[in-house]
């Protein structure tokens, strides 16, 4: 049996706030002046950055839409 990762609304809100800050900072690499730095990276590094952003956004979506993450004991 698993337990909820976010024990209360305050935990969930803090996690969502942290994820939003991380995704926002990461997106600086992908748009505007940061795009040039992103494009200068090796393709595997570009893929990893996009993968990281995808994971952050997927978790944010789960929190916002009530599909919170679960962890195993």
pLDDT tens for residues 21-63? 999 999 888 888 888 899 999 999 999 999 999 999 999 999 8
Among 37, 13, 12, 15, which Cα is nearest to 26's? 37
pTM of the model: 0.73
DSSP labels for 20-42? HHHHHHHHTTTSTTHHHHHHTS-
CA distance 68 to 48: 24
Domain boundaries, the chain: 2-68
Give residue for tokens 């599909």: 67
Element (H, E) at 50: helix 43-64
Give residue for tokens 């944010």: 60
């Amino acid at each position: 049996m698993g337990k909820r990762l976010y024990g209360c609304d305050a935990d969930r809100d803090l996690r969502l706030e942290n994820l939003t800050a991380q995704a926002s900072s990461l997106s600086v690499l992908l748009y505007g002046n940061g795009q040039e730095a992103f494009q200068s990276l090796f393709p595997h590094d570009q893929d990893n950055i996009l993968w990281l952003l995808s994971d952050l956004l997927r978790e944010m979506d789960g929190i916002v839409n009530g599909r919170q993450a679960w962890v195993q004991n």
